[in-house]
Amino acid sequence: MTHTPAAPLAGRVRHARPRATRRGRGRPLLYLLPAAAVLVPLFGYPIYMLGLLSVFDYRQAQVSGGEPTRFIGLGNYATLFGDERFWSILLQTLVFAVALVVVTLAVGATLAVVLTRAGRWPRLLLSLAAMAAWAAPAMTGSTVWMFLFDADLGLVNQVLGLDGFNWFYDKWVAFGVIGATVVWHSFPLVMVTLYAGIQAIPHSVREAAWLDGASEWQSFWRIILPILRPLVTIVVIQSIIWDFKIFTQIYVMTNGGGIALQNSVLNVYAYQTAFGSSEYGLGSAIGVVMTLILLVITMFYIRALYRTGERL
Amino acid sequence: MKRARLAANTVAIVAAVVTFFPIYWMALSALKPAGEIQSLQVRPWTLAPTLEHFERVLGGENFARYLLNSLMVALAVVALSALVAFLAAVAVTRFTFRFRTTVLIMFLVAQMVPVEALTIPLFFLVRDIGTAVPGVGLNTLGSLVLVHLAFSLPFAIWMMRGFVAAVPEALEEAAMIDGASRPVVLWRILFPLVAPGLIATGVFSFITAWNDFIFARTFIISAKDNQTLPAALLVFFKPDENDWGGIMAASTLMTIPVLIFFVAVQRRLVAGLGGAVKD
C-alpha cells in the first residue's frame, strides 16, 4: 500500500474564509449528498456494525444459521483480556510500531538534511529512488524483499555466505526483515516532507547560525528542528498511525502472521481471528480495541494540526 | 564546506542506490532466464535477458484477465471519487453551514480508521447487499469499487479542498454577475480550473484501489474470473518451491503503472507539501 501522504499538507491551501452570505442555504448539503451516500453506508455503518458484532457471540455456527446469534455483552472483551496471547500481541504491536517510527524518522530526517547539502545530481538521484520506493505497492515491495531474503536463492544469504538461513523462522529476525521493508516504503514521505520544510526556512536564518559558528549538528538540533517542530509532530503522528496499521507486509511475508501467529500485530490478529478461526465477534472486539487506540492518537494529531495554524 | 558537500553527495548516492536496488532486482530477476535464478552464483546483471517469465505470467493463470480487472476497478474508483470529492470539496470550501468543521474533522478521522478491521463487518454487509443487488455482492468487482470508493473519498475530499480553495472566488462571482447560474459556474468555470487537482487526487485514488490486497482477498472467494492482481500474484507462491521468476515478472507488471502515475504527480505533490509549510 502506498503510504498515504500527509493528508492535510497536500494541496496548496489558501485560507479564504468561506462567506456566509451566499444564497441557497441547502446547496452545500446538496453537494455533500453524494459523499454522504457513499460514506454513511460504507464507512459509518460498518464502524457501528463492528461495535455491534463485538458484543455478540458470532461464529461459524451463527453465520450459517445453525445456532442463534446471542448477545453476550462484554463477553468477547473478557475473553480477550483474559487471553495471554492478546496481551503479548498488543505489546509486540506497540514495540514494532515504535521501532518503525524511530527508524523511519531517523532515516527520513538524516536524508532530508543530506538532500539540502548535496549537489544537484545526487539530490535528483536520491529523490527519484525514494519516489520509486514510495510508489511501489506494499504487495510487490513485500515479494521483492522476500526474494532478497529467501533462504536458498536470496541474494542476501549468498552475499553473506549463509547457506539456507531462514530469515522468517525466528520471530524477531522476521520482524527485522519486515521492518526493513516497511521503512523502505515509508521513509520517503518523511524525507520529502522534512526537506520541503527545511527549504522553506529562510536562508538568512541558517546563514546567521553558520556565521555565529554553530556546527551542522548544533544548527540541526537547535535551529532547524525547533522551527519545524509542528511539521515534525505531524509527520511523527502520521508515522505512528501508519506503522500501527501495518498489514500487507506482515500478511504476505509471513504467510498470514507466521508460525502460530508469532509475527502478527493487532490488525493481522483481528483479521485471522475473524476469517481464519471464524470467530467474527472476537475479531470485531480486537478491531474495536484497535480503533479506540487509533482514535486517541488521532486526537493528538488534530491538536497538532491546529497548532500549525491549519484552519479548518 | 567542500568536504561536507562531498560527504553529503556520497551519502545521497549510496542511499539512492540502496533504495532503488530492490526495484532494480525485481525487474532484473523478471528478465533473467530461469537457470540464472536457480543458480547459486548470483550476478547483479544478466547477459541473456528473456521475456519468458512475462510470457508465462501473461499467458497462463488468467493473469491478463486479472490485470484488466484491477485496471477496471481502479479506473471506476478514480472517475467516481473525482466527481464526488469535487462536489464535497466545493461544499466545504465555498460555503459556511452548521457542522461544517465537524464534517471536516470527520473526513480527517476517517483516514485513521483501521480499514483492515472493518473488513469483518464489510464482509457481512457486502454479502447482504449481494442478495438484493447481485452486481455488488461477494465475488464481484462492483463490491471492490464500492469499498475503495468509500476508503479513498475522505483523503480525496481533503486534498481537493486545497485545490478548490486555491481558485480565486472572484472568478465565480464575475460569472454570476454576468448571469451564469450556479451549476454553470460549477461545471464550466470551477471544474476546468481544478483539473490538475482532480488528476492528482485521481492518481491517489487509483493507487489505493490498485494496491489493495485485503479486500480482494476477502470478498473474491470463489469467482476465479473476478480476481485482481494481488491475489493473482499469490498463485506463484508454491509450498514446495516458489516460482521467483514468475513472482518478479508479475510484481514488475503490477509496479509499473503506479510508478508512472506517481512520477506524473510527484512535482505537484512536493509543491503541495512545500506550499503548506510556507503558509
Average pLDDT, chain B: 86
In the A/B pair of chains, how many CB contacts fall below 8 A? 363
B100, pLDDT greater than 70: yes
Which residue in B187, B202, B188 sits closest to B258, CA to CA?
Answer: B202
What is the residue whose three cell numbers read 494529531? Answer: A301
pLDDT band at A1 (very low <50, low <70, confident <90, very high): very low
pLDDT for A21: 45
Q: What sign for the dihedral angle of Cα A193, A195, A199, A203?
A: positive
Looking at beta carbons, which residues of chain B come within 8 Å of A134? 262
Taking CA atoms, B200 is separated from A238, B156, B205, B269, in Å, by 20, 9, 9, 8
- Name the closest residue on chain A to residue B209, using Cα atoms: A1
Distance in angstroms (rounded) separating the CA atoms of residues A19 and B96: 6
Higher pLDDT, B93 or A65: B93
Listed by start position, the domains of chain B span: 1-49, 62-272
Nearest by Cα to B212 from B161, B145, B274? B145
Q: Hey, which residues 105-134 in chain A have their CB within 8 Å of chain B? A: 111, 114-115, 117-119, 122-123, 125-126, 128-134
DSSP A18: P
Q: What is the pLDDT of residue A289?
A: 95
Tens of pLDDT, residue by residue over B11-42, are 999 999 999 999 999 999 999 998 888 777 77
Is some CB atom of chain A closer than 8 A to the CB atom of B13? yes
Mean pLDDT value of segment A252-277: 91
Q: What CATH number belongs to A75-307? A: 1.10.3720.10
Q: B9 in the Ramachandran plot: left (φ > 0), alpha (ψ -120 to 50) or beta? A: alpha
pLDDT tens for A116-172 read: 889 899 999 999 999 899 889 999 999 999 999 998 888 998 888 888 889 999 999
List B residues 128-187 in contact with A (Cβ-Cβ < 8 A): 146-147, 149-151, 153-155, 157-163, 165-166, 169, 182
* Cβ–Cβ contact A139 with B under 8 A: yes
CA–CA separation, A220 and A199 (whole Å): 13
Question: In this predicted structure, which of A75-79, B27-31, B232-236 has the lowest mean pLDDT?
Answer: B232-236
Q: Which of A25, A104, A144, A243 to mutate to probe the B interface, most B CBs <10 Å?
A: A144
Shortest CA gap B234–chain A (Å)? 9
Q: Which of B207, B206, B221, B210 is nearest to B126 (CA)?
A: B221
> How many CB atoms are closer than 10 A to CB A222?
13
The minimal CB distance from A129 to the residues B16, B258, B270 is found for B16
| Mean pLDDT, range B257-277, rounded to an integer | 63
Record the pTM. Answer: 0.87
Tell which B residues from 248 to 277 touch A, by Cβ distance under 8 Å: 248, 251-252, 254-255, 258-259, 261-263, 266, 269-277
Once rounded to an integer, what is the mean pLDDT over residues A221-242? 86
Check residues A26 and B26 and name the one with the higher pLDDT: B26
Closest by CA to B155, choosing from B118, B121, B112, B123, is: B112
The domain spans of chain A are 75-307
Give the span between the Cα atoms of A59 and B25, in whole angstroms: 44
The per-residue pLDDT for range B55-97, each reduced to its tens digit, is 888 887 678 888 899 999 999 999 999 999 999 999 999 888 8
The verdict on B96 touching A (C-beta cutoff 8 Å) is yes
Kindly state whether A74 is in contact with chain B, defined as any CB-CB distance less than 8 angstroms: no
What single DSSP character describes residue A136? S
The Cα A10–Cα B266 span in angstroms is 11
Mean pLDDT of A56-66: 85
Whether the pLDDT of residue A306 is over 60: the answer is yes
Q: Chain B contact for A162, CB < 8 A? A: no
In CATH terms, the superfamily for domain B62-272 is: MetI-like (1.10.3720.10)
Q: What is the pLDDT of residue B238?
A: 80
What is the per-residue pLDDT for A177?
Answer: 96
Mutate to test the interface with A, among B37, B86, B113 (most CBs of A within 10 A): B113
Nearest to B218 by CA among B112, B132, B114, B147: B147
Q: With pLDDT > 70 as the criterion, what percentage of chain B qualifies?
A: 94
The C-alpha angle A168, A174, A176, rounded to 5 degrees, equals: 150
Assess contact for B74 and B209: CB atoms under 8 A.
Answer: yes
The mean pLDDT value for A48-71 works out to: 88
Contact yes or no for B163 and A11 at CB 8 A: yes
The confidence score (pLDDT) of residue A14 equals 45
Strand segments, DSSP code E, in A82-203 are none
Rounded Cα distance between B114 and B151, Å, is: 11
pLDDT at A299 over 80: yes
Residue A19 is classified by DSSP as P
Give the 3-state DSSP-derived string for A41-86, with helices as H, strands as E and coil as C. HHHHHHHHHHHHHCCEECEHHHHCCCCCCEECCCHHHHHHHCCHHH
Q: Is the pLDDT of residue B43 over 90?
A: no
- The answer to whether B46 touches B205, Cβ cutoff 8 Å, is no
Q: Write out the E strands in A156-226.
A: none
